[in-house]
Chain A
């Protein structure tokens, strides 16, 4: 039966090729626009470590100016980064299963063969970083907590950097110079590109991870600042790096891994206790706002999916609705045009249900053709946007162009939308024609 209805549908398209083409194009445009925006939206709104959503927490405390919040439009949020002294105190706690204090800085790598010295983004971090964020290694490993302080001259490279410096060979055990200090390579990461880069959203939500990692206390020893955000508010002595470490400036990122609800409660009360003590000493003048934020809330708080993208998704669906209503009109016109044929089929014994089914299959074929064309258009559209973004970035990775990839999400959405379109656009016309009394159409012949 299905095959026969399919043939009937194709025959019917042949009768009105113009209207059929118009319907296919309308559905295709609607689906293409929706698939494009949904693909980007999906890539933006992903949680790259969802399986640890009830374990990983960003640690923040509101130490900011009592007169105004750091982000005027978001007064409820504490600064996204912490002071050096607060992270030092909280890091001493044994409640978390894993804990990381870190920030991204820049350093020049030299002393490798004939490779010219070049500046690379370098993360100064405590040892748990790799295990906590489940960073894959190609060669070697990270370092142990003992290497953090006093800092050992150990370094982990990204796969990209290892390819640049060593042609991709196993470089574990070799040395290089970082800001003219000798470091020994202990590990090389495998490809790793969490999108968004949730653990550090500075400088753009889709930045590539850093190309090198060194033990945390090098930050103090070599007086390294955060390369993106070092925010201060209190007029206090700030003449050298030690002042800076003792100040209310925020520039350090802290994450903890808490295995269960009990440890979450314990760490929260540990923070609150520290906060109360410090407040007595004159700090933390703003209302108490000690936060442990899981990754999905962290992404929401930091508005990784920006409002523009939500507006675009809404707009895309409004446009799809427009296209579908258009298709309903065209289908109705087309079916009424062919009502005489339907009348004959009814007179020859086809039931209403059979007519309904047959017409719905006809609509289904239009939708599937529309979805296929729509997928192709969406893929082209995303490619075009990707090129536009990549061109603006001069080919460097790590911008929003990382989102413009056509993937299985787009295909799934196209399928869902095609079915929805068939039902939305086809039900009423098919039902309406199915209900027509065959006699009227037979008579006029």
Chain B
């Protein structure tokens, strides 16, 4: 029970502090009176007795102090007092406090945002049961598998308790006629929900029994968001009929709010069995082909099976498949497993890399802010030399002084932490509520949770320790006598103090940040101005899907022809074309193996994949792609005539080398008897899938010979983009008012998605770069200003003895110049050495690009000079007569 009474005596006095104080007063008063009474009893006169008693009792307040200590009121009350004192002393230096809290808030805020992103996008497990056992399969660089391969992996493996395959794509959904909208969702195998172990919010999920090829009872699961939004939370939603791409489905379940599918950054709105895919896409029979790699596979490991064992098992199956189907396999590709949620390794890899770079930069930024603060605190500690000296002289123990300084530092850090939290809350709110004009629902749901709060707390505490440690130690390592005599300052003159070294380190870190951010920004400028192979300026497009309205190939060809005819007459539009898809458009692009018909079928290792586009005449002119040789399609390229194709330069280069490709034939199948397409033109190579892809072969086929259901109408026009897009939309709806028109807008707008990662990274980096620059400048400024201030007297003497201005400047700036050049050199060396870390996010810029280094460094030197200017000028203006008299 001893601990209990301890706590009681420890806490009681605080709760009943006033009571305890009164008791103590009463007790001591009582003692005094008894002493007086005793004196009178011994025969002293009353007055005398009182004096005698007072002499004996002495300083009552001192006893009280000791009694309080004895009762260990101590710690908490002391801390409360320290906090009050700290608030007072911080309020006395408002500029210092504002700068300190501001830099910390920025540093902590930026790191919190980065951490929130990493936690929610990279680290967050899928919201399913036992997500740790789930894993995505990757084959080589890609995570896509064909349906036959999926079946073989599923049936032959011994490592997974279950496997599911799915694809993510868009569909037109309509509840009533004339009310269709476009939504993205999953086509998944029947094992999908069982394997994930998610519970439906309403109704049931589909299982293997619902996933039969073109089963007559078509079932659909919808997302919570779709249910609440489009269906207004209809409680009788189950059993309702909903058309997906024109085919009726019955809603059997609603997914819980937390579950938006197995990919984290895109939110799915519906799930339907993969078996139903032939119903809604009758012309796409990819499930039959081993070469059509359209599915992602996710599997649940059996209990006790390691990832390495599972990989070995899958590799064996892959080897078997390569033996059995030598023509259909891409050659020896390694199988690997990765955490699900970010489209296998294809997206997770780059996202992880970018996260690491971001976290490193954020960490360095925060370190920089800490160092800056430490330097300011050191300067302040020197200013407070006298104050601390007085406190020590008056009997404060060193522990008390240290504790008080720590409380002060912690207050700063706590305020910075709160500010950082506020900043990150604001930014993540903005990011979550921000709906960019992308076609795909980006669902990165950034939110603050307990993990993030713990992170902020940990960062705050460690920054307190980081920036408070050195200054606090220096503050109490104090000699009483000189500090009281105000001499201290001259004693330390001429040596490098911890503070000077800190400024050097700070300069080095800032150089690292400034150079790396300039590199990334330059790389982004490259990306933004690079030749895409087409010109998105002044181009608008609208997309629609004819299969929804049951158009067959013949009907859609007719529709496209009429549409082109009508649209080309719209005033203000200079050229129009239609295509099944556009370069850099997310989703829905096909690629096929392409080969020359005058050569035997190539082996697995020498095959070339080509992007396939179906286009109308005028496509190249409208999109601004140069036609290098040959001709564009024309009205003569019809179905009954010879199949023709336009190919890009990259395809010519990989199949024909330096030969003239015009007139040659290429085939898009692995069938040796295929007569193929005659090449009639060669176009410039564009970017098709991503901005940093290598030149990719592409082949363009006339829409009049192939037909397509997914159609994009493109136009080049001088009209404002919104107006032009409206005119196009109207021309489509004039022909068929039941169509769903989507993705209407300028091409520039639609390119926001591919440019997004580079833009985001560049924004973060420029903020950090600017912050680093400001911190380094303030650090240098403070260093020089402080050097001038503490050496005012010395400089005065020097001037009085006839020092020239240049000598004075040398004395003031010398150490600073030495420090900053050392810092710049070290920072440059570190950046050069760590260049390979950056190379993964740089595009078109070497991590050791001399021009960038030169530019960043000269800006840096300029800023450093500016920072030194004011205090150096002040040193020159020192009036010896005045300073010598001052002290």
Question: Do A and B make up one complex?
Answer: no
Q: Using CB atoms and an 8 Å cutoff, list the residues of chain A in contact with chain B.
A: none
Q: Using CB atoms and an 8 Å cutoff, list the residues of chain B in contact with chain A.
A: none
